[in-house]
A and B are shown apart, each in its own frame.
Chain A
Amino acid sequence: MPLGSIVDFLGNCPQYIANGLANGCIYILVAMGFNIIFNSTGIINFAQGEFCMFGGLFAFTFGVTLGLPLPVAIILAILATAIIGALMERLMIYPLRNASVITAIIATVGASILFKALGRMFWPKEAYKVPEFSTGNITIPGVTVSRQFLWVLGLTVVSVLLVYLFFNRTRAGRAMRACSINRQAASLVGINVSRMSLYSFLLAATLGGIAGLINAPYASYSIGLFLGIKGFTAAVVGGLGNTFGAVTGGLVLGLLEELIPGFLTVVLGVSTGYKDAVAALLLVTVLLLRPQGLIGKGVVEKV
C-alpha cells in the first residue's frame, strides 16, 4: 500500500511541479515588488499585495465592463496600477521622508487597508472573471496546464530580466541601489533621493499589477493579503533585496506548496486543508536557520 501510494505520488509530481511553477511565478513578481521598494527606501511595503488586487480588478473593468480589447485593457490596467503606486508614494511616503523607516512601514499598512477598502467599495463581489490571455489547454502525458501558463512563464522571465538589467546596468537602477545603502551619501553625490523613491513605487506597482493580471482569471478585492503574504515569504526566503533571491524564494515556495500537501494526501492519507501553513513554516524555518535568506549574502546593514 505505501509503495503503491508513493508510485501514485511520483506519477502526480509533474502536475504538482507545473502548478507550483505557475504559482511560483506570481510569487516571484510580488517578491520583486517588495525587493525594489526595500532596496531603494528600506521600506517593507505591506500594500504590495493590493497592487496585485488592482491589476486584476482594473483588467476586469477595462476588459469586461468597458469592453475594451484585451491587450488595451491589460496595458491600461498595468498603467492604472502604476499610477496608484506613484500616488501612494507622493501622498504617503514622500511626506514621511524625514521620519523613521518604521513610520513609513506603518504607513504602508494603512495604505493596504485603504486599498482593500477601495477595492471592496468599487468591486464588491466575491470574484470577477477576467478574460484569459489565451484559452485552451496544453496536455502532455501526466500534465495538463492552461495556455495562460505560457504567458505566466514568459511574462515572469521577461520581468525578472528587465528588473535585473535595470538595477545592474542602468544609471537610474544603480542610483536606486545607492539610495538604499546610504541615503545621505547618495544625495551628496547628486542623486535625487525622493525621485528614486517615486520610481521604486512606480516599478513595484507595475510588477504587482502584472502579477495580479496573470493571477487572474479570477480577480477579487480579497486577494491582496493572500498574495502579499506569499510574496513577502518568497522575498524573505530568497533573501530580502536580492532579485535572484526573489526567484529562488518564489519557486521554492510555489513548489513546496503543491508537493507537501500532495505528499500528505496521497502517501500518508492525511489532508490537512491547510496549504497556507507551508508558507508560514517555510518562513519560520528560514528565519531560524538562515536569516539572510537562501541566497542572501549577509545581514542587511541597518541598525
Chain B
Amino acid sequence: MRGKRTLLIIAVAAFVFSALLALPGCGDGETETDSKEPIKVGVVLSESGANEPLGKPERNSIELYVDRLNDAGGIDGHMIEVIIKDDQSDANKAQQAAVELLQQEEVVALIGSSGTGTTIAMKQEATKARVPMVTMAAGANIMDGDFTWIFRTPPTATEAGKKVLEYVSEELGVKRIALLYDTNAFGTDGKAVVESEAADYGLDVVVSEGYVTDESEEGMDTHLTNIMTADPEVVVVWGTNPGPAKIAKRMRDKGIDLPYVGSHGIANQAFIELAGDAANGVVFPAGKMLIFELILEPGSEEYEFIKDYSDAYFEEYGEHIDTFGGHGWDAITIIVEALKRAGTDVTPEELRDEIEATEGLVGTAGIFTYSPTDHNGLSPDDLTMVEIVDSKWEHYSK
C-alpha cells in the first residue's frame, strides 16, 4: 500500500516538474501562455521627412515579410514581432527610438534606419547595448570606427562608384569626367570614391562641383555652366532627388548632349517623374532587382527570390518593388535566416556572430557574404548599369 502511494506521489511530482521545466521563464512568476514567446525585432525607419520615399517601401516590405513568415508558423512556432518607429529623417529621433526599442522592448536585433545620419545615431545605441543592427543606408562613414554590431544591406558608394567608373572607361570609352555632387552625406561619399578611384580606371575628374538639392533650376544652370568650361566628356551626377532631376532637365534645356551618368540615388520612379522627358538616356548603377526579368535567368536562385518578393509585394500593395523596399526585405531576411540557424532562444551577442557568418545568402540587392572585416556584404558585381529609355528602366547594353 505504502509503496504504491509513494510511487504515485513521485509520478505526480515528476509530471509537475517536467511541465514546469517546459515553460519558458519558469519560476519568475510570469503568466503562463499556450503560444511560444514572440521574438522581437525593433525597426526604425524614416517614414516622413526627407527620406520618406525610402521609409515607406521599407516598412511595407518588412511588414509583408513578417506577415508571411508568421502565417507560415514563424520560426519553430515563435512569431516574429516587429516594432516599427518613425524617425522623421531626424537623427535625434532615431537615437531616441533606438533607446526605446532596446530598453523597453528588449529587442534581439535592430533594423534601421533609412538614412545615413539616422543610422549613425542608432549605431551608438546598438553598440552600447551590444545588440546587432542591420542598416538600409549606404553612407560610407557608417562603418567608420567600431562596426562590430552594424551590418548593411544596400550597395555603398564604393561599389557604385567603381561600377560607374568601370562603365565610363569601358563602355563610354571617354576620359574627362565632370562631377556634380550633392553636398549632403550621400553626395560627398560618392565624390570621395569617384575622385580617389578615377585614376585606377585611367580617368580624370577635370572638375567637380557641389550643389544643394533645394537650389532652383537656375542655380543648377550655373553649376552646369561652370563645369562645361572645363570641357568634360561625361557628366557624373551624385545625389538624391530632386537635385539630379533638375540637373537632367537643365542639361536637356541647354542642349548639352554629353552622357549623363547618375548614382544609385536615382534608382527610383520619383526621378523619372521629376525629370520627365529629360530622364531618358540617363544611365545609373543599381541592384539587379530593378530589371531582374531582363538580366537574370528564370529558375536561378536570385531570379526566384526577387520574383517571389515582387509578386507578393504587388499583390499586397498594388505597387511595383523598388530598391529601397528591397533593402528592407534583405534586412529582415538576413536577421530571420540567422535566427533560423542560431535557434530562437539566441542572445543578441550570439545572433550577431551568426549574422557575421552569413555566406552566399541571396537577397534582392545581390549575394550577401559578411566577414569580421567586411560588414557591407556586397561587391561591384552585384550592381548593373541601368538606362532610362522611354521613361522605363532597361538593362544598359551598347
Q: How far is the CB of B269 from chain A (nearest CB, A)?
A: 11
The smallest beta-carbon distance between B89 and chain A, in angstroms, is 9
Closest to B52 in A: A124
- Beta-carbon contacts of A264-292 to B below 8 Å, as 1s and 0s? 01100001111110000000000000000
Q: How far is the CB of A18 from chain B (nearest CB, A)?
A: 7
In contact, A274 and B183 (Cβ under 8 angstroms): yes
- In the complex, the answer to whether B52 meets A261 with C-beta atoms within 8 Å is no
> A16, A139, A145, A275: which contacts B211 (Cβ < 8 A)?
A275
**Inter-chain contacts of A273 with B (CB < 8 A):** 181, 183, 209-211
Q: Which of B49, B208, B254, B273 contacts A120 (CB 8 A)?
A: B49
A-B contact count (CB 8 A): 111
| Contact yes or no, A126 B270, CB < 8 A | yes
Judging by beta carbons under 8 Å apart, are B218 and A19 in contact? yes
Q: Are B241 and A215 in contact (CB under 8 A)?
A: no
Whether B242 contacts A218 by the Cβ 8 Å rule is yes
A145–B255 Cα gap in the complex (Å)?
12
Q: Is B219 in contact with chain A by the CB < 8 A criterion?
A: yes
A24 CB to closest chain B CB (Å) equals 10
Q: Report B-chain residues with C-beta under 8 Å of the C-beta of A8.
A: 229
Knowing A125-B270, A127-B242, A266-B229 are in contact, say whether A19-B222 is a contact too (CB < 8 A): yes
Digitize B154-189: 1 where CB-to-A-CB distance is under 8 Å, 0 elsewhere.
000000000000000000000000000101000000
Asked whether B50 lies within 8 Å of A126 as measured between CB atoms, the reply is yes
- The answer to the question of A41 belonging to the interface, with a C-beta cut-off of 8 Å to chain B, is no
B349 contacts partner chain A, Cβ-Cβ < 8 Å: no
Q: Which of A101-109, A178-186, A200-208, A219-227 is found at the contact surface with chain B? A: A219-227
Q: B residues within 8 A CB of A220?
A: 214, 242
How many angstroms between the C-alpha atoms of A139 and B270 in the bound complex?
A: 29
Contact A124 B48 (CB under 8 A): yes
The yes or no answer to A89 lying at the interface (CB within 8 A) is no
Q: Is the Cβ of A23 less than 8 Å from the Cβ of B218?
A: yes
Tally of chain B residues near chain A (CB < 8 A): 39
Does any Cβ of A come within 8 Å of B81's Cβ? no
Contacts of B227 in A (CB 8 A): 265
B233–chain A nearest beta-carbon distance, Å: 17
Report which residue of B183, B211, B218 has the largest number of chain A beta carbons within 10 angstroms of its beta carbon: B218
Known: A127-B274, A273-B183. A15 touches B222 (CB 8 A): yes
Known contacts A126-B52, A273-B183; A15 and B221 CB within 8 A of each other: yes
- B residues near A26, Cβ cutoff 8 Å: 216
For the complex, give the distance between the alpha carbons of A252 and B346 in Å: 64
On chain B, the residues within 8 Å of A18 by CB distance are 218
Asked if B276 lies at the interface with its beta carbon under 8 angstroms from chain A, I say yes
Q: Given known contacts A126-B52, A218-B245, A266-B229, is B222 in contact with A258 (CB within 8 Å)? A: yes
Contact residues in A for B76 (Cβ distance below 8 Å): none
| A120→B52 CA distance, assembly (Å) | 9
Q: Could you say which residues of chain B place their CB within 8 Å of the CB of A146? A: 217, 253
Please name the residue on chain B nearest to A273 by beta carbon.
B210
Provide the residues of chain A in CB contact with B217, threshold 8 Å.
146, 217-218
Give, as a whole number of angstroms, the nearest-CB distance from B255 to chain A.
7
A29 to nearest B CB, angstroms? 13
Q: How far is the CA of A124 from the CA of B254 in the complex (A)?
A: 31
Contact digits for A121-145, partner B, Cβ 8 Å, 1 yes 0 no: 1001111010000000101000011
Q: Which residues of A contact B263 (CB under 8 A)?
A: none
Closest A residue to B246 by beta carbon equals: A218
Residue of A nearest to B253 (CB): A137
Q: Out of B215, B225, B242, which one reaches A15, CB within 8 Å?
A: B225
Say if the beta carbon of A262 comes within 8 Å of chain B: yes
Judged by a CB distance under 8 angstroms, whether A12 is at the interface is yes
**Closest Cβ–Cβ distance, residue A221 to chain B (whole Å):** 9
A240 on the B face (CB < 8 A): no
Minimum CB–CB distance from A281 to chain B (whole Å) comes to: 16
Within the complex, what minimum Cβ distance (angstroms) separates A122 from chain B?
11
Q: Which residues of A contact B270 (CB under 8 A)?
A: 125-127
Residues in A whose Cβ lies below 8 Å from that of B219: 19, 23, 257-258, 275
Q: Is A43 an interface residue (CB 8 A)?
A: no
A258 to B209, CA, bound (A): 13
A129 neighbours in B (Cβ, 8 Å): 273-274, 276
For residue A16, which residues in chain B have a CB less than 8 angstroms away from its CB? 222, 225
Contact A223 B218, CB 8 Å, known A129-B273, A265-B226: no
B64: interface (CB < 8 Å): no
Q: Find out whether the CB atom of B225 lies under 8 angstroms from the CB atom of A12.
A: yes
B residues near A145, Cβ cutoff 8 Å: 218
Contacts of B273 in A (CB 8 A): 129
* A12 touching B226, Cβ below 8 Å: yes
Contact residues in B for A257 (Cβ distance below 8 Å): 219
Query: Is A28 part of the contact surface with B, judged by Cβ < 8 Å?
Result: no
**Could you tell me which residues of chain A, from 20 to 42, have a CB within 8 Å of some CB in chain B?**
20, 22-23, 26
Min Cβ gap A135→B in Å is 10
Contact of B210 among A23, A226, A272 (CB under 8 A): A272
Residue of A nearest to B276 (CB): A129
Closest to A254 in B: B218
Assembled-state Cα–Cα distance A265/B210 (Å): 11
B143 contacts the other chain (CB 8 A): no
Docked Cα-Cα span, A215 to B211, in Å, equals 17
B240 at the A interface (CB under 8 A): yes
A sample of 28 cross-chain residue pairs with beta-carbon separation below 8 angstroms, ordered by A number, consists of A8-B229, A9-B229, A19-B219, A19-B222, A121-B48, A124-B48, A125-B53, A126-B53, A129-B274, A137-B254, A144-B221, A144-B255, A218-B217, A218-B242, A220-B242, A222-B50, A223-B214, A257-B219, A261-B209, A261-B222, A262-B225, A265-B226, A265-B227, A266-B229, A273-B210, A275-B211, A275-B219, A276-B212
- What are the 5 closest A-B residue pairs judged by CB atoms, nearest first? A273-B210, A127-B242, A19-B218, A271-B209, A265-B226
Given contacts A129-B274, A271-B209, A275-B219, 14 further A-B contacts (CB under 8 A): A12-B226, A12-B229, A16-B225, A19-B218, A19-B225, A20-B218, A23-B219, A120-B88, A126-B50, A126-B52, A126-B242, A137-B253, A218-B245, A265-B227
Q: Which residues of A contact B (CB under 8 A)?
A: 5, 8-9, 12, 15-16, 18-20, 22-23, 26, 120-121, 124-127, 129, 137, 139, 144-146, 149, 215, 217-218, 220, 222-223, 226, 257-258, 261-262, 265-266, 271-276
